[in-house]
């Protein structure tokens, strides 16, 4: 397993290392059981992150899945990406508060519109909780400039104009 670099100044709610109320997810790259590369994060829902009593809030569950999707697109896709179109979110069971869980992301197929990322969450013993399928395409410098974003140099360097 290789821990992914995440700068201290990252302000993200999901993965910012020092966000006051955030999830502070940390990611690593590893090889899955089938030999394919994947991005992984562990998380344990806290008592104040509930929807129904004892269950992780659905929106926060989606956030974990989306975060692992982004880090998968960035790391395994090899460049700064933006999500496009609706994704497909599904949950079979919401993660339980206080119990460790795992989120995994893998690259799916290429399409003319971009790259598919498949993400899933599961209990520590491997029971599936939920999944998210998203479509990502490379970001352009014009999009970043138009949005008024100030990105770190290492992300700006990854932008490859068509």
- CA–CA dist 36, 34 (Å, integer): 6
**pTM for the whole structure:** 0.90
Residue 44 domain flag: yes
In SS3 terms, 79-105 reads as CCEEEEEEEEEEECCCCECCCCEEEEE
- CA–CA dist 130, 92 (Å, integer): 6
Residue 161 domain flag: no
What was the pLDDT predicted at 162?
60
Q: What is the mean pLDDT of residues 11-34?
A: 95
- Backbone φ/ψ region at 83: left (φ over 0), alpha (ψ -120 to 50), beta: beta
Residue 107 domain flag: yes
Residue 162 domain flag: no
- CA–CA dist 27, 71 (Å, integer): 8
Residue pair 51/94 in contact (Cβ under 8 Å)? The answer is: yes
- For the domain that residue 111 is a member of, what is the CATH number? 3.10.129.10
Domain that holds residue 142: 2-156
- Retrieve residue 42's tokens: 């562990």
Q: How confident is the model at residue 140 (pLDDT cuts 50, 70, 90)?
A: confident
Q: How confident is the model at residue 102 (pLDDT cuts 50, 70, 90)?
A: very high
- Of all residues in the chain, the percent with pLDDT exceeding 70 is 97
Residue 57 domain flag: yes
Q: How many domains in the chain?
A: 1
């Amino acid at each position: 397993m290789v821990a992914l670099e995440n700068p201290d100044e990252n302000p993200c709610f999901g993965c910012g290392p020092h966000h006051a109320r955030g999830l502070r997810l940390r990611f690593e790259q590893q090889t899955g059981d089938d030999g394919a590369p994947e991005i992984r994060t562990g998380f344990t829902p806290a008592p104040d992150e509930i929807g129904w009593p004892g269950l992780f809030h659905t929106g926060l569950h989606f956030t974990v899945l989306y975060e692992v999707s982004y880090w998968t697109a960035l790391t395994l896709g090899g460049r700064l990406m933006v999500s496009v179109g609706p994704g497909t979110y599904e949950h079979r069971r919401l993660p339980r508060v206080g119990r460790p869980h795992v989120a995994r992301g893998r690259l799916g197929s290429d399409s003319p519109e971009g790259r598919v990322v498949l993400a899933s969450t599961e209990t520590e013993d491997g029971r599936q909780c939920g999944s998210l399928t998203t479509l990502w395409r490379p970001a352009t410098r014009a999009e970043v400039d138009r949005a008024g974003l100030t990105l770190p140099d290492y992300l700006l360097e990854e932008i490859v104009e068509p």
